[in-house]
A and B are shown apart, each in its own frame.
Chain A
Amino acid sequence: MRALEKEITWTESVIKEDQISKFMKSGRDFINDEEIWQKIRTNTSPEKQEIREILQKSLSIETLTPDEAAKLLNVKDEELWKEIFEVAAQVKTKVYDNRIVTFAPLYCSNYCVNNCLYCGFRRDNTLEKRRRLSLEEVKNEARVLAGEIGHKRLIAVYGEHPLSDARYIADTIEAIYSVKVPTRGGVGQIRRVNINAAPMSVEDLEMLREIGIGTYQVFQETYHHETYARIHPPGTLKSHYQWRLYSMHRALEAGVDDVAIGALFGLYDWRFEVLALLYHAIELESMFDGVGPHTISFPRLQPALGAPYTQETKYLVSDEDFKKLVTVLRLAIPYSGMIITARERAEIRRELMPICTQTDASTRIGIGAYRESTNRQESERQQFLLGDTRSLDEVIRELAEMGYITSFCTAGYRCGRTGDRIMKLLRTGREGKFCKLNAILTFREWLDDFASEETKKIGEELIQREMNEIKEKTPVDFSERVYQELQVYYKRIQNGERDLYF
């Protein structure tokens, strides 16, 4: 009873209405369902030429308007879709080069006060085994991730509950950062911790900012007001649509300057969600000096134990539509990172890799699962089931065979490439150059510390090609000095130094 009372008191204290209303205009939020539908309904049958002009705009790394994005969504010609996909891949390369950043999710707690109908962690799901990791257990997870698999970047995930409040989040992040593990050639360490956590007050976000979180990620799940109300039962914290919608406004106000948005596709019509994500990006850009979402996620609804809506929904997204939605997002918000996760099957990930920037591998989403479990999926301690359980080594090898270099770079946020600065670097295509250099250095580290012989061989061939490319681009894209410095850093890493970056 005590615990329940405490939970109720805590729940009542979370939402601060004044931290929402100040951003709203005439009592309305920035998602106008009618307007979005009107854009989708009126921008039908676009001319080929019109579409090509939109593609050119995207190639110059300008955010599209909702009308332009709606036109892309309404293209029916499959040949034209191929062209659209190719340009989306060019946009990705222009902004981020051919690198794919990898990360791993670290689920810290699955206690949750909410009751979302599509989620295995929901309060009423009695089949779920509840657990919150102690700080020592968090460190144990980080030891496996940093010392055995070789990850450098995590996204720590928390349910919404007093047991996993902002203080706990801060403590877990510090615990993760404190871990150092000897590896074959050097030291393994997590260098960037992003978080996926519930909407918070400005005060809580300020505390997290002080300890140096990476990116703060909150998904709206669905932007459609009515659907949102239906699947987030009244009386729960999460039923407050605007408290969630304005999470990123509060984060940016608190000085957390890398924010990430997303929608859970399958809850409502995918075309609506794509346009709503674009409206969200435009709203942030206009309110915060051009700072939009650092990344966008587009998880697809997956079956989950004790989550009835995952079976009932009529909005599940087919593979074909999924490819289209990711493509339009890539083009509509061209500077933003795009995360495709292990929720998706290997073949879908393969197909979408040309337009995505980040992915996870060796993923385990059970609480404590990196340390404790085999690669087996356990529905009673996972939020959903994964579509791809391959190891990081396998995924990296495949990416290398496809010509993509896996990057473990975490340099940007440690040398001021954050907030409006990173936005400008991305929009001008300059960040891509840092990406290229840092991908080589961090990939070399990983090959020496963790790769299988087979992956190492393929990886080294890829590095050689990357080096040659940089040489060819010198002195036009890179100065002679940059090229020389890269050689020096590369040798130092081969000799056992770690964490050198541009």
Chain B
Amino acid sequence: MANATSTFNESFLAAFLEIAEAVKSEFGVYLQVAEILGKRWSFVAGEPEGSTFLPSKRLMLNEHLGLIAENWEVLPREKQEEILSVLREKLAVTRGM
């Protein structure tokens, strides 16, 4: 959506899409990024159709953006931490947050 994209830049998006594609094919984990607006988590990018129907995990990347992950538990803990730290770093670099 128009406004959501202004809260991060292309380099964050590129990094996210790369990670999303990799974890989807390797682990069957589906990731989306959403903008956090009060109670609302508004879809920004990622696998639009999801696949597992399992309850998704919501993880805050910063106060504006969140990661929605289906099947997150199957990822090894180090992989989970790596994904979160890469994405948070990208956001911090691009927006100073």
Chain A residues within CB distance 8 Å of chain B: 174, 177, 191-192, 206, 209-214, 252-255, 257, 413-422, 424-425, 428, 430, 433-434, 437, 478-479, 481-482, 485, 489, 500-502
The answer to whether residues A416 and B68 also contact, given A253-B2, A501-B55 and a CB cut-off of 8 A, is yes
Nearest 10 pairs of A and B residues by beta carbon: A212-B38, A255-B3, A212-B40, A421-B43, A416-B34, A212-B37, A416-B43, A255-B1, A416-B68, A424-B48
Q: Is B24 an interface residue (CB 8 A)?
A: no
Whether A422 and B52, one on each chain, are in contact in the complex, defined by CB atoms closer than 8 angstroms, is no
Question: In chain A, what residue has the closest Cβ to B45?
Answer: A421
Whether A211 and B54, one on each chain, are in contact in the complex, defined by CB atoms closer than 8 angstroms, is no
- Residues of A within 8 Å of B39, CB to CB, are 177, 191-192, 212, 413-414
Question: In chain A, what residue has the closest Cβ to B47?
Answer: A421
Cβ-Cβ contact count across A and B, 8 Å cutoff:
100
Q: Is B58 an interface residue (CB 8 A)?
A: yes
Q: Tell me the count of chain B residues lying within 8 A, CB to CB, of chain A.
A: 26
Report B74 CB to chain A, min CB distance, Å. Answer: 10
Whether A485 and B40, one on each chain, are in contact in the complex, defined by CB atoms closer than 8 angstroms, is no
A-B contact pairs, 29 of them (CB 8 A): A177-B39, A209-B37, A210-B37, A211-B38, A212-B37, A252-B2, A253-B2, A255-B3, A257-B1, A413-B40, A413-B41, A414-B40, A415-B68, A416-B56, A416-B66, A418-B42, A419-B43, A420-B43, A421-B32, A421-B43, A422-B43, A433-B53, A478-B53, A479-B54, A481-B54, A482-B52, A482-B54, A485-B55, A502-B55
How far apart sit A500 and B58, CA to CA, in the bound complex (Å)? 13
Chain B residues within CB distance 8 Å of chain A: 1-4, 32, 34-35, 37-43, 46, 48-50, 52-56, 58, 66, 68
Question: In chain B, what residue has the closest Cβ to A191?
Answer: B39
- Residues of A within 8 Å of B48, CB to CB, are 420-421, 424-425
Given contacts A413-B40, A416-B41, A419-B42, 15 further A-B contacts (CB under 8 A): A177-B38, A191-B39, A209-B37, A210-B37, A211-B37, A413-B41, A414-B40, A416-B66, A417-B43, A418-B42, A418-B43, A425-B48, A481-B54, A482-B53, A501-B55
